[in-house]
Amino acid sequence: MLKKKKKENSETPENTVEMANESANTDKQELNPQPEAAENTPSAEDKLKEEVQQANDKYLRLYAEFDNFRRRTIKEREEARKTEGKDVIVALLPVLDDFERALRATEKATEVASVRDGVILIQNKLKNILGQKGLKEMQSIGTEFNADLHEAITSIPAPTDDLKGKVVDEMEKGYELNERVVRFAKVIVGA
């Protein structure tokens, strides 16, 4: 019996109106969110400000990274410049030792021919080391005068007609390092 009374009470018109009002309020809440929920969602302006701040942060980090890269590169170049000739100098140290030995030998030497032979050996050793590093002598005598390779000191009357405009004599040899002129040959040109 108690169950029947409860069922009857729940179906009374008063209860039905209350239930309808509650469901209508629930529908309104779903359609119109509370103002508190609207305050928690960021506005479009706040989103844009945040995006701009993130973009500025990325820019500053990238700029700092590039600046560090630039500084590191400059430092590495300076270090490389300080030691770039190291391999050539190390290769020439034995030649320097040979010259010191030759000077000591000349103090006791009585024969000039043996000293000359020793100096020639040292010269050949030096030429071989520099040749391995890419240095080549330019052959100038008898070639056509070329201002890109030669520096004319003077001109003299050509001993023969075929030497006119050509290099007659060489005062200082010219050198190329890896196909580039590092010292121009100082020459005398036939006129």
Is residue 171 in some structural domain?
Answer: yes
What residues have CB less than 8 Å from 172, skipping those under 6 apart? 183, 185, 186
Place of tokens 């209860």: 15
Alpha helices in 84-132 (DSSP H): 86-108, 112-132
Is residue 72 in some structural domain?
Answer: no
Q: Which residues pair with 175 in a beta bridge?
A: 137, 183
Say how far residue 113 (Cα) sits from the centre of its chain. 53
Confidence at residue 162, expressed as pLDDT on a 0 to 100 scale: 82
How far apart (Å, rounded) are the C-alpha atoms in residues 100 and 108?
Answer: 14
Provide Rg for the chain, Cα atoms. 48
Of the candidates 167, 89, 163, 173, the residue with the CA atom closest to the CA atom of residue 126: 89
Is residue 53 in some structural domain?
Answer: no
Is residue 40 in some structural domain?
Answer: no
Is residue 155 in some structural domain?
Answer: yes
Place of tokens 């001993």: 159
Is residue 2 in some structural domain?
Answer: no
Is residue 107 in some structural domain?
Answer: no
Confidence at residue 67, expressed as pLDDT on a 0 to 100 scale: 95
The residue segments making up the domain with residue 158 are: 135-191
Of the candidates 97, 92, 149, the residue with the CA atom closest to the CA atom of residue 126: 92
Sheet holding 150-156, edge to edge: 150-156, 185-190, 167-172
Q: Which domain CATH number covers 143?
A: 2.30.22.10
- DSSP-assigned letter for residue 163: G
> Do the bridges between strand 185-190 and strand 150-156 make them parallel or antiparallel, or are there none, so unpaired?
parallel
Tens digits of pLDDT across the chain (191 residues)? 455 555 555 555 555 545 555 554 554 444 555 555 556 677 889 999 999 999 999 999 999 999 999 999 999 998 888 777 778 888 888 888 888 888 888 887 778 788 888 888 988 888 888 888 888 888 888 888 888 888 888 888 888 888 888 888 888 888 888 888 888 888 888 88
Say if residues 188 and 156 touch (Cβ distance below 8 Å): yes
Q: Which residues pair with 135 in a beta bridge?
A: 177
Confidence at residue 60, expressed as pLDDT on a 0 to 100 scale: 94
Of the candidates 125, 75, 59, the residue with the CA atom closest to the CA atom of residue 96: 125
Is residue 109 in some structural domain?
Answer: no
pTM listed for this prediction:
0.52
Number of domains in the chain: 1
